[in-house]
Amino acid sequence: MRLRRRLGLLTVAIVVAPSAVAGCTVQRGGAERAEAEAKPPEVSEVTPADRSRDTPVTAEVGATVTGGRITGVRITDDKGGQVPAEPREDGSTWVPNQPLKPKRTYTAEVTATGDSGRTTTRKTTFTTMAESSKPAVTSTLYFVGNRTYGTAMPVTVAFDPPIPKEARADVQRRLFVKTDPPQPGVWSWIGDGTQVYYRAPDFWRTGTRISVRSALQGLPIGKNLVGDADRTATSKIGRQVSLEVDNATKQMSVFQDGKLARRIPVSLGKPSTPSSSGKMVIMEKHEFTTFDTRGEPDGGYVVDVEDAQRYTWGGEFIHAAPWSEGDQGNTNVSHGCANVSSSAADWLMGVTQVGDLITVKGTEVPLQPGNGWTAWNVSWDEYVKGSALPVPAGLQPSAPSQGDPGKMAGGSPAPVPSASGG
């Protein structure tokens, strides 16, 4: 009996012992996890590098963070003044709201927060380069503040000289657009680098507020050029208006909020000076202007016109043409413009906005890329190929086609307008 009892006790001891060992292991693992969770984030590779010199005035502050993310950046100049900055949408860097000053020393404090809520702060001090003596690229932002634009308005920046392919990504990264409500879009370059457009896959929604910053001042562009200026503008999108011109019928259909508002007889370009077919955007509106084509290959005339609306750099306008009212609706007699009656031109001036889409079809020549703001004259898939940076995944038009934009709600820079027209 005693022997059996001893064996029973020994068996219990053998069974219980492993449980005790396992329990100790679990406790140590929990402690290690708790300690790891409580660790502050690691911040490394702060940019600009500490004590660096000759930093471009377009410098942005960033860092590599392990176990957390950047939650704050504080930049001060060598006089103790604070430099406001905002993070990029992807959080990769913080961008000063204004260009930094040349030959000045700045200190940036980068704060990262970990999952535990603990923070780490790293500092870097750097000195900006002297003001560059390199020639500046002339940039023009075709988006003015405190205006109301049409739903097809692309944000357009033009460049002289053109931006070479190898420098376009650097330039594009310094072009910022914010929309409220959010409608993300993409920048796209025309082939010769003279213009870059920003638009969303679909037309802007009425009431959208758009803020633009072309932050190019002092930006190194290639080896031999720098950016010229830092420009900002905020405007809103107005009602939906679009125009469709059919050469076969010589009629212009005017749509408001997707509904046909009026049909207007037109006379387009005669065979020797044909109008362009494609999707264009109203760029300028003039109650009165002068077309002066002296010095142009097929020009030589000067004429005063009323109620003129430009839609190509080449000089195509909608305008009042009382001299061709007998031809409007049946014969093309213009130098490429869309001639309409004086009463129709006056009515249109009260309806349209800069940024409204005008679609012309059935003429002898296609619209050339860059001859105006031609961002809508290609499919979305073709448009995004013009971006010098990766395009956000899944960004696609809400409808399969933009083939009939009038029914949906949704070159090189011109010289100083010596409007040609006709």
* Encoded amino acid at 343, one letter: S
Per residue in 158-167, pLDDT (tens digit) is 999 999 999 9
Confidence of residue 38 (pLDDT cuts 50, 70, 90): confident
Query: Given strand 302-310, what is the order of strands in its sheet?
Result: 284-292, 302-310, 317-320, 338-340
Report the distance separating Cα 256 and Cα 278, nearest Å.
20
CB count within 10 Å of CB 14 equals 9
Note the pLDDT of residue 43.
93
Q: Of the candidates 421, 222, 193, which has an alpha carbon nearest to the alpha carbon of residue 316?
A: 421
Note the pLDDT of residue 400.
55
Q: What is the mean pLDDT of residues 150-162?
A: 98
Q: Of the candidates 243, 238, 257, 242, which has an alpha carbon nearest to the alpha carbon of residue 340?
A: 243
Per residue in 363-418, pLDDT (tens digit) is 999 999 999 999 999 999 999 999 999 999 899 999 654 444 444 433 323 333 33
Per residue in 162-203, pLDDT (tens digit) is 999 999 999 999 999 999 999 999 999 999 999 999 999 999
* Encoded amino acid at 29, one letter: G
The answer, yes or no, to whether residue 295 has pLDDT greater than 60, is yes
Per residue in 299-324, pLDDT (tens digit) is 677 889 999 999 999 999 999 999 99
Q: Which helix (H) or strand (E) holds 28?
A: helix 2-38
